[in-house]
Amino acid sequence: MTHTGTRPAAALRVSAVLVSYNSMEDLLRNLPPLLAATSRDTDEVIVVDNDSSDLTSEVVPRLFPEVRLIRAGSNLGFGGAVNLAAAQARGRTLLVLNPDVACARAI
């Protein structure tokens, strides 16, 4: 499948997207099992920070360098943040998750 516009051709299997608005504690708890259930070779994990005030945009890249952080710059709402991530996602499948999801099994 070829994509048009600025979106790159899909090279990955899954793009897992989490939208965060002051959800740092949930991300700290739930990103490790999500990352353990994904492969850096075939999957990507994207966190969209909706202009949080809880230091999400500073902590996530420092603790989880394998996660792609997108700083929305303002609170776009859930749908707007998902659309922002979808435009930049490289996976064939987009998996949209809430930051408080508990990942127990491989994707």
The pLDDT, as a whole number, for residue 100 is 85
From the candidate CATH numbers 3.40.50.300, 3.90.550.10, 3.20.20.70, 3.20.20.10, the one assigned to the domain spanning 12-97: 3.90.550.10
Burial class (CB in 10 A: 0-12, 13-18, 19+), 56: buried
58-94 burial by CB neighbour count: b if 16+ within 10 A, else e?
eebeeebeebbbbebeeebeeeebbebbbebbbbeee
pLDDT one-digit tens code per residue, 6-43: 445 557 999 999 999 999 999 999 999 999 988 888 99
In angstroms, the CA 76 to CA 35 distance is: 25
Q: Where are the alpha helices (DSSP H) in the chain?
A: 24-37, 56-63, 77-88
Q: What is the pLDDT of residues 84-94, one digit of tens each?
A: 999 999 999 99
> Residues 102, 31: contact at Cβ < 8 Å?
no
**Domain extent listing, the chain:** 12-97
Q: Is the pLDDT of residue 44 over 90?
A: yes
What is the pLDDT averaged over residues 52-56? Answer: 95
